Structure 1
Amino acid sequence: MSEFIFNLQKTDGQARRGEITTPRGKIQTPAFMPVGTAGTVKAMQTRDVKATGADIILGNTYHLMLRPTAERVARLGGLHHFMQWDGPILTDSGGFQVMSLSKLRKLTEEGVSFQSHIDGSRHMLTPERSIEIQCLLGADIQMQLDECPPFPITEEASRESLELSIRWAKRSKDAFEKLSKPGQALFGIVQGSVFEDQRKRSAEGLMEIGFPGYSVGGLAVGEGQEQMFRVLDFTTPVLPKDRPRYLMGVGKPPDLVGAVERGIDMFDCVMPTRSGRHGQAFTWDGPINIKNAAYVDDGTPLDADLDCPASRDYSKAYINHLFRAGEYLAATLLSWHNLAFYQELMARMRTAIEEDRFAAFAAEFRARYSAGAASEG
């Protein structure tokens, strides 16, 4: 199989159950993609990430271009071989990290020049260079280079930004068609901040160019969940029904449920592993801080029903002890559990859509999760 294919199998309201076929395997949607920023899902071995149920992981163009460099990864056999992951990999374009991490950033029609946050070296990222890097890495799903504007932003500045991103989308596609291999796919990124007319303009501009998938960018940047959902309410209906929809950088479990409710198929976020490294565990009854004294003598597991050793086989008291003792295993166990929880959440949503009961599932999930979060304080 050398094609990228999206098969929309079932809908329940706006929620969608589907399957993406790539040369490196199938992706069941709605899907959550663990983030492997620098060629690793932090604190995890790839075999354990796969065992949680992840079909695909995300790699980061910005970080990998700086070190060890895309050229070095290519010489060493590509990102899949380099990090020992044989499933699909999606790479972002680097645009968000240039905005959020780099120094002395200068934006022009050509691209964006910036200073590395690591060593101060100067770099130029253009649509063509972003695609070249992603092809050198060997990514199965790639992103156009876009400008990810800050929030809040004026309507005029947002409009200028999205028009630039549309022009960059065309250049990204032209470069992709020259450099990519059969079966690889390039997604366009819908921008426009919180402005309805601009989101529609961005989506229409990208659809004129034509992509096998569409991402919704520029959210989860400070606008809040209510505003994010409002943007999705008017954005997803204008996107093609026969192409996957990817909400970038989102989010907490209630964000995922609400976005699936609004027609999103794919997600990525550092939340499961970042929270795990800092002592937060996600549960059906809301997040808990395992470092709290309440868990010092708690001999129960995080989730006895999850098919994950970190969730099932270790007590809360033990993980609490690991954090208090400063042991590395603490971050691994909690990251592992959180990733397994996220994958189980996606699996339950897929099943609920298949069985035409997604609305009931979402309502039950929200009620239980918010009640537990309130009691945790």
Structure 2
Amino acid sequence: MTSTTPFDDFRSLLATLPAADAAAEDRIRMLFAKADKPKASLGRIEDIAAWLGAWSGRAPPAVNRPLVAIFAGNHGAVRHAVSPRPVAATANAVELCAAGGAAINQVCIANDLGLKVFDLALDIPTGDITEAAALDERGCAATMAFGMEAVAGGADLLCLGDLGVGNSTIAAALCAALFGGKGGDWVGPGSGADAAMMARKVDVIDRALALHGASLGDPLEALRRVGGREFAAICGAILAARMQKIPVLLDGFVATAAAAVLHAANPAALDHCLLASLSPEPGHARAAQKLGLRPLLDFGISHGEGIGAGLAAGLVKAAALTSSGMAAAVRR
């Protein structure tokens, strides 16, 4: 009798990912070729539109129901003073988003984006990764499944962001587990760490790698051991979007680290994703390079909340309209 584990369904999904719609991409590139403009003069705008069509299956592409999904989680490792903010700041940020007073609310209004914010058991931080796994397998799989529900109400562009005190440390730990190296290779100042705090972040990561090292070769095990709930939920959302033909914009270090889990399991798992924004965290640039992701924006945004993805969504919407609305050249 074959035994099953909570991760089995996700392993099956990762092994059977839908491919891009090459015909739709070709039609969009043909629209640009026929437009009244010099060849390839719109640069990456043409590539963005082609990507949008390839992964939505629509040519010309359209963005009618864009959604920003923010996943908020807390971490047991914060007790090691790896962030200048108290744990309560995560819940406060969620409440601010709900009240319409956060930066992301304004970005969503400006670009006509939907917004969902998910509180992932903020009152129960994950395990301290220096002493135990962040999550057990069942809990991690359940959180991934919960993340998949982000697109249950329908969307045609998914922008993924995060909230979580200390989660830049967790992102660095996850990158170290997936790509190699030690804590010092991946940590950055996060929300304002000084030199002493940076040293504590490095120590937390190195202790976690030493504790869990034997199990980190499996990407999903790395996710549950040194990741967190927002990371697991983002993984689930990326997978659900792939299955439902929804292109994805990734925002910041946390979303990129989560996406790296899927890439480690299947290098084609992120083909429907673009990196919206590059944060100032040095580990983010390094992770993006390893994943082959080139950011659409580089505004030095480290605020979280999916702001970079929300801003990039406006660019994607413009690319879609450009591909469908430009007049064809008159041939003489």
Q: Compute the TM-score of the two structures, normalised by the length of structure 1.
A: 0.32
Which protein has greater RCO, CA pairs closer than 8 Å, 6+ apart? 2
Q: Comparing both structures, which one devotes a greater share of its residues to strand?
A: 1
Which structure carries more helix by proportion?
2
Q: TM-score, normalised by structure 2?
A: 0.35
